[in-house]
Structures are given as structure tokens and as C-alpha cells.
């Protein structure tokens, strides 16, 4: 059985507010377990998909205009901070839950405490 590796979602000044809303650090995680990646931000977002479906991993090139869970059309941003964001392109699309509603996930951007380490860990798996 493979040992799970955890990555932490990064939070900024509004972290305590997100914690009160059930979206804070203690309710959120990214975990690599075997051949699966699990992403969770409290009740707001949950996804589980095969690592083999990750087509690319790169620093986020957009501008994060807010924090929390947002997006549409298969493109979602899960962040507690506007910096340190990494984007995963996923093909075939994965299933996710956005505030409990099933959605397709094609691109996931997430703020991380150690974005460079995450990118290094997954770049060896994709490409």
C-alpha cells in the first residue's frame, strides 16, 4: 500500500474567516494516495481523480480576484490566498462536487503552501 502524501492549501489574512465558514485549513487538504489525487476545501469543493489524467502542472497565470471556491465550465479555482497558485489540466475530465453539486473538472487551480514542490512532484508524472 502506497503512503499518502499531503499538500496544504495556503491561506492569507482571511484564513480565520474561511475557517468560520467551514472552508479553512483544518477542513481542507490535497492528498496523493496511490494513483489518486484527492482535493478538498471544506464543504465547498471535493474532487478525486487519477493522477494519470493530469496532463500538465504549471504556475497559475491568471489574476485571483477573490478567495474560496469559484469557477464554471470545468475551470475551478480553490484558494485561500491569491498567490502560490498552481494549475492542473485534467483530461479526461474528472468529476467534482462544488457546494455539493456535481460538476466536470477540466482545469483546477489551487493555492498551495509549497507550490514549487507540488509542481516538481507532479511534473515527473505528466508530459
| pLDDT at site 50 | 96
Question: Whole domain around residue 20: which residue ranges?
Answer: 5-123
| pLDDT at site 79 | 96
Cα-only R_g, the chain: 13
Residue 3 banded pLDDT, cuts 50, 70, 90:
confident
Assess whether the previous peptide bond of 92 is cis (omega < 30° from 0): yes
- Asked whether residue 127 carries a pLDDT value surpassing 60, the answer given is no
| pLDDT at site 107 | 97
Q: How many domains does one find in the chain?
A: 1
The CA distance from 121 to 126, in Å, is 10
Q: How does the average pLDDT of the chain come out, rounded?
A: 93
| pLDDT at site 126 | 63
Amino acid at each position: 500500500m502506497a503512503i499518502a502524501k499531503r499538500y496544504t492549501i495556503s491561506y492569507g489574512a482571511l484564513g480565520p474567516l474561511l475557517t468560520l465558514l467551514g472552508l479553512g485549513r483544518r477542513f481542507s487538504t490535497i492528498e496523493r494516495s496511490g494513483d489518486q489525487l484527492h482535493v478538498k476545501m471544506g464543504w465547498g469543493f471535493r474532487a478525486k481523480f487519477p493522477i494519470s489524467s493530469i496532463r500538465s502542472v504549471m504556475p497559475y497565470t491568471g489574476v485571483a480576484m477573490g478567495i474560496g471556491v469559484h469557477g464554471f465550465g470545468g475551470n475551478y479555482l480553490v484558494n485561500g490566498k491569491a498567490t502560490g497558485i498552481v494549475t492542473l489540466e485534467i483530461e479526461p475530465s474528472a468529476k467534482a462536487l462544488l457546494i455539493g453539486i456535481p460538476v466536470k473538472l477540466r482545469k483546477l487551480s489551487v493555492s498551495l503552501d509549497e507550490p514549487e514542490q507540488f509542481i516538481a512532484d507532479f511534473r515527473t508524472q505528466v508530459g
